[in-house]
């Protein structure tokens, strides 16, 4: 199964968009999206300097536009891509690109929303001198304790030995003067303490912008930064997008879910490199391609052909499978039909497939539709986390 991943703020570098303009249609798309973004995306991605594209109101629309343009180029349109890719995920602002790739909202609405997001977060960041610093290495518990002692928030828990601390510049300076043992500190080129309480003023503006948007349920697995769980409802996803600006990004849990779903490959959209680097350390079994320039498209298409879902002809069946996930953290126990529900077995609506147990509390695992078992992702007695995928089902009427 293949993951399409969209990077977040801080990944941008001056001129990274320039080679993509040579592809047919990309410049036209970026010009149209510029009107929605409220900035000249072509100029920002080609001739603008590092300081200009660090501006949150510029960086966020630029990153989402770059990811969407490359995703369209990769497979001849987002509709084709979502028929081949099994999972979409984005880091921070990259979640908006992932949502459009999964079909929850249109690229145009993604650009409208990211424009509001970028401006609102820039305004919140301007209220106080804040920032973010990557904390690399060290013992995770000791790192988290040190951040707490300095009043800092672990705004990004990225896995692979990386936690991003966020807070006031004074708090970050105190951390730099007294770091935890065995860590390296790397200040990030961002304009504020994103995904912390410092961004709370941006939530209301984003909620107002999101209120009138039409959304659909994800057409493929769409993983949320909030807890790493797959999101089933488009409305739930949109609400998570609104509140996520002031709450931490749990990319470590996103990667855990990818592994649990059986992901075998990952393509990172431009400006690629950050998320493939994290995957290289945390998920070494994944094959990876980082799309930095159009020269990387052939390698990405080969990965898509090898690990993606074969695209069916329009007169043939379509891929439409669903996941059942754990409603709480605990221990999975197979029960009833699950004892005999090997791959290929039919499951009646409401038939018990098992439950997740915590002490005396049991949360049932059932489907409200007739289905065929495609793949079990856990075994009886396995510990599971909330939102962890348990079984993949093919609805019988799909």
- Per-residue HEC secondary structure of the chain comes to CEEEEECCCCCCCCCCCHHHHHCCCHHHHHHHHHHHHCCCHHHHHHCCCHHHHHCHHHHHHHHHHHHHHHHHHHHCCHHHHHHHCCEEEECCCHHHHHHHHCCCCCHHHHHHHHHHHHHHHHHHHHCCCEEEEEEEECCHHHHHHHHHHCCCEEEEEEECCEEEEEEEHHHHHHHHHCCCCCEEEEECCCCCCCCCHHHHHHHHHHHHHHHCCCCCCCCCEEECCCCCCECCCHHHHHHHHHHHCCCCECHHHHHHHHHHCCCCEEEECCCCCHHHHHHHHHCCCCEEEECCCHHHHHHHHHHHHHHCCCCCCCCCCCCCCEEEECCCCEEEEECHHHHCCCCCCEECCCCEEEEEEECCEEEEEECCCCEEEEEECCCCCCEECCCCEEEEEEECCC
The pLDDT score that the predictor gives to residue 396 is 75
Whether residues 120 and 235 fall in one domain: yes
pLDDT tier at 298 (50, 70, 90 boundaries)?
very high
The pLDDT score that the predictor gives to residue 317 is 38
Whether residues 280 and 345 fall in one domain: no
Q: Average pLDDT of 132-152? A: 95
Is residue 195 among the annotated active site residues? yes
Kindly name the residue from 91, 150, 195, 307 that is annotated as catalytic: 195
Q: Which position has the higher pLDDT, 237 or 80?
A: 237
The pLDDT score that the predictor gives to residue 393 is 85
Domain span at 228:
2-124+197-307
Q: Average pLDDT of 49-77? A: 95
Split into its structural domains, the chain has a count of 3
The pLDDT score that the predictor gives to residue 318 is 41
CA–CA dist 14, 271 (Å, integer): 11
Whether residues 111 and 166 fall in one domain: no
The pLDDT score that the predictor gives to residue 313 is 38
Q: Which position has the higher pLDDT, 308 or 388?
A: 308
Q: Average pLDDT of 101-113? A: 96
The domain spanning residue 158 has which CATH number?
3.30.70.250
Is residue 92 among the annotated active site residues? yes
Whether residues 384 and 249 fall in one domain: no
316 within a domain of the structure (yes/no): no
Kindly name the residue from 34, 67, 75, 92 that is annotated as catalytic: 92
Q: Is the pLDDT of residue 137 over 90?
A: yes
CA–CA dist 200, 49 (Å, integer): 29
CA–CA dist 192, 214 (Å, integer): 30
Whether residues 290 and 205 fall in one domain: yes
The pLDDT score that the predictor gives to residue 272 is 93
The pLDDT score that the predictor gives to residue 325 is 83
Q: Average pLDDT of 367-390? A: 81
Q: Is the pLDDT of residue 389 over 90?
A: no
pLDDT tier at 348 (50, 70, 90 boundaries)?
confident
Q: Is the pLDDT of residue 333 over 50?
A: yes
- Considering only 24-28, 76-80, 338-342, which range has the smallest mean pLDDT? 338-342
Q: Is the pLDDT of residue 157 over 80?
A: yes
Q: What is the pLDDT of residues 120-133, one digit of tens each?
A: 999 999 999 999 99
């Amino acid at each position: 199964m293949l993951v399409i991943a969209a990077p977040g703020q801080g990944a941008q570098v001056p001129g990274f968009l320039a080679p993509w303009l040579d592809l047919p249609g990309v410049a036209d798309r970026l010009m149209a999206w510029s009107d929605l973004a409220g900035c000249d995306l072509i100029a920002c991605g080609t001739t603008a300097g590092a300081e200009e594209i660090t501006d949150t109101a510029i960086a966020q629309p630029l990153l989402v536009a770059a990811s969407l343009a490359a995703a369209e180029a990769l497979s001849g349109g987002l509709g084709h891509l979502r028929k081949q890719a099994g999972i979409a995920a984005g880091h921070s602002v990259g979640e908006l690109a992932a949502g459009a790739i999964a079909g929850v909202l249109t690229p145009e609405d993604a650009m409208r929303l990211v424009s509001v997001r970028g401006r609102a977060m820039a305004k919140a960041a301007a209220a106080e001198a804040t920032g973010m610093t990557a904390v690399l290495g060290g013992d995770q518990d000791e790192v988290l304790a040190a951040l707490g002692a300095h009043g800092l928030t672990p705004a990004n828990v990225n896995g692979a030995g990386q936690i991003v601390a966020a807070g006031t510049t004074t708090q970050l300076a105190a951390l730099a003067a007294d770091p935890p043992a065995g860590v390296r500190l790397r200040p990030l080129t961002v304009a504020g303490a994103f995904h912390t309480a410092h961004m709370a003023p941006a939530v209301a503006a984003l909620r107002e912008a999101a209120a009138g948007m039409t959304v659909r349920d994800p057409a493929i697995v769409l993983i949320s930064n909030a807890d790493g769980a797959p999101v089933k409802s488009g409305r739930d996803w949109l609400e998570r997008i609104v509140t996520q600006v002031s709450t931490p990004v749990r990319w470590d849990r996103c990667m855990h879910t990818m592994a649990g779903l059986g992901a075998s490959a990952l393509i990172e959209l431009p400006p690629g490199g950050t998320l493939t680097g994290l995957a290289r350390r945390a998920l070494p079994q994944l094959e990876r391609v980082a799309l930095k320039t159009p020269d990387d498209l052939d390698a990405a298409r080969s990965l898509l052909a090898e690990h993606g879902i074969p695209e069916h002809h329009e007169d043939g069946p379509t891929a439409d499978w669903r996941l059942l996930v754990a409603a709480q953290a605990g221990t999975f126990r197979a029960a009833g039909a699950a004892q005999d529900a090997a791959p290929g077995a039919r499951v009646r609506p409401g038939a018990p497939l098992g439950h997740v147990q915590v002490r005396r509390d049991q949360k049932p695992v059932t489907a409200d539709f007739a289905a065929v078992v495609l793949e079990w992702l856990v075994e009886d007695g396995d510990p599971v986390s909330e939102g962890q995928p348990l079984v993949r089902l093919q609805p019988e009427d799909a």
